Chain A
Amino acid sequence: MTIATTPIEWAILAASAASTAVGLYVAYQAYRGYRRHSSRPMQYLSLGLVILLGVTFASAFVGSLLLRGGVVPGDYRPGFTLLVRLLQLLGVVFIAYSLSIRS
């Protein structure tokens, strides 16, 4: 079992990993903003970004490995996609919430 075989699959994987890395960098800056200024909006912004980019990427990655490897039956794919989408929703809800609160 390999994580990617065709060039396009590798490209997808590389692009996802890169966007996660850059996203987590922004999340890290938001976290520093929260620590430096005890800013609640920044706390929720960093949390939202971590969930939106880090957690969803990690779960999508691990999930597709399990599905491809046949560890988890293919029937679970829709439910798994729903889980990732719900995590994304949670991430943007955190970010929206951080915009609505005043420090």
Chain B
Amino acid sequence: MSEDRDLADVLDALSDEYARAILAETSTEPMSAKTLSERCDASLPTVYRRIERLQEHDLVTERTRMKPDGGHHKVYTATLSSLTIDLDDGEYEATVERTDRAADLDADDAADRLTYMWENL
């Protein structure tokens, strides 16, 4: 029953258009809420609400990024790589696969870009 609950929650979270847009954008590179609000054409509160929802289901992670001027801000990265739902013998079985490292790579960091480039050469 609890697995059904999880599946329902994940499906529910993904049924939202903004949540899907946030996942799609953050799957390419880590992004701040502000950037997401521009890219997804959504207000900041909307973005924060969706991110919170996605985080509850471990579909997005956050990381604090230092800025050159000494300040810092949070960036979000999609961890979802695939969601499969099997219907077999009258039962649903959901499998969520999460990405490990590629999603951790920070597009603003030379070392991360080099790592990504070199490992995929």
Contacts and interface: CB of A to CB of B under 8 A. Distances in A.
Contacts of B105: 37
B109 to A, nearest CB: 8
20 contacts: A29-B110, A29-B114, A30-B111, A30-B114, A30-B115, A30-B118, A33-B115, A34-B115, A36-B115, A37-B101, A37-B104, A37-B105, A37-B112, A39-B119, A41-B118, A41-B119, A42-B114, A98-B118, A99-B118, A103-B101
A30 B110 CA distance: 9
Contacts of A30: 111, 114-115, 118
Nearest to B105: A37
Contacts of A42: 114-115, 118-119
Nearest to B116: A33
Nearest to A39: B115
A45 interface: yes
Interface of A: 26, 29-34, 36-37, 39, 41-42, 45, 98-99, 103
B104 A33 contact: no
B111 A29 contact: yes
B85 interface: no
A32 B111 contact: yes
A101 to B, nearest CB: 10
Given A37-B101, A37-B104, A45 B118 contact: yes
B104 to A, nearest CB: 7
Nearest to A34: B115
B114 A103 contact: no
* Closest A-B pairs by Cβ, 5 of them: A33-B115, A32-B111, A33-B111, A29-B111, A29-B110
Contacts of A26: 114
A29 B114 CA distance: 7
Interface string B88-121: 0000000000000100110000111011001101
A29 to B, nearest CB: 5
